[in-house]
Amino acid sequence: MADEDRGHRARARNRTGMRPLRHEDPEEIAGFRLVARLGSGGMGTVYLSHMPDGRPTALKTVRSELAEAPDFHRQFEREVRAASRVRGRYVVPVLQSDTDGAVPWLATAYVPGASLGEAVAFHGAVPQRTVVRLTAGVADALRSVHGAGVVHRDLKPSNVLLAADGPQVIDFGIARASDATTMFSGSPRRIGTPGFMAPEQVMGGEITAQADVFALGLLTAFAAGGRGAFGGGDADALLYRIVHDRPDLSACPDGLRDVVEACLEKDPANRPVPEQVIEACRVLSGEFDPFPREGWLPAELAEEVALRRAPTAPGEAPDPDPDPGEAARGRGHRGGPGPVVTGDAEDGPAGADPPTPGTLPAAGAAAYGAGAAGAAGAAGAAG
């Protein structure tokens, strides 16, 4: 029944990841002409646009009521500045931003491809050879993020996009910016998404780079098994299990299970660092280079990449021989007219991955850009 439901959802959904602009949407923001909606959520709306040189971008705007929160601009500016320092082959770069305006925004590269959350929800568990390369790529992304002095804080399936040349990690470090809104209520709030948080996050302790490694273990288990390592259901019960229980890794293949178990150590000091995870992936793959390469995605996910190519910018001529790798990194802006922008019956919040049996949907994430599930082709979404 689960496979039948998954097949029905896969046939019914809008696979381009793009929706038409609404009547209330502006035609342009800060010189960026808006083309389509990529998603919307608690933090704001994400639009498809283009840089002046034609590169497709995901333009993320912040809702006005959040922008008016005390200290939001200062916190948002600090986090965007930190994120702008991050460079790596598996991270989506911040291209431009305005953190001081009445409507704060940032532009990142547009990445065609479904999120990991979508991939599992609509196609089931990912093949092991793909999961090994996925894990190596995300570990390399964390190495880049941590090397820039940033902690992601909200690594989860909707924040990992599956592009033709490898996974692309989005929204690193931005999660903390939304914490400024807690000043309205005066009560503390956990930063992260239930089901993909480290024990120290759940307990309100210090969040270090090792919290991201815990999330990497959860991400790998989710991809390999098609469900969360700590189950689903009520958020409080789920968070309790993360802190106190052992993960259920019965659906995770033996070799990967060892890697995941190491990442899911309760004590942050006992977890491996990203370089050690990459080395473990080398052993599992039997190759010196365990990273994604051409053809790393299963056929049905590779098809998603083709469907989500951005429409060509006005005045741009199609490239008769586009580079798939460039397109996957948001730089193949001459690659043809792209998909038709279609409407959906519902524009759900970005980050609310379609429920996968045994997992908790990402709704309620306390993070900017709660992912790209409803906007999966984007380099990020406002959730």
Where do the H-state alpha helices sit in the chain? 2-12, 64-67, 72-84, 116-123, 128-147, 199-202, 209-225, 235-244, 254-263, 274-285, 299-307, 324-328
Q: For the chain, how are helix, strand and coil distributed in percent, rounded to 5?
A: 35, 10, 50
CA nearest neighbour of 365 among 196, 220, 247: 196
Contacts (Cβ under 8 Å, ≥6 apart) of 69: 180, 181, 183, 184
Asked whether 139 and 277 are in contact (CB, 8 A), the reply is yes
Q: Is 344 tagged catalytic?
A: no
Distance (Å, rounded) from C-alpha 243 to C-alpha 202?
A: 7
Q: Which of 3, 98, 154, 165 is catalytic?
A: 154
**Phi, psi dihedrals of residue 215, rounded to the nearest 5°:** -65, -35
User: Taking the mean position of all CA atoms in its chain, how far away is CA 276?
Assistant: 23
CA distance 17 to 38: 6
Joined tokens for residue 201: 């996050």
Q: Which amino acid is at 83?
A: A
**C-alpha span between 220 and 203 (Å, rounded):** 23
Specify whether the backbone of 336 is left (phi greater than 0), alpha (psi in -120 to 50) or beta: left
- Indicate the SS3 state at residue 270: helix
* 84: nearest Cα among 96, 74, 66, 67: 96
CA atoms within 13 A on the CB side of 303: 7
Catalytic residues: 154
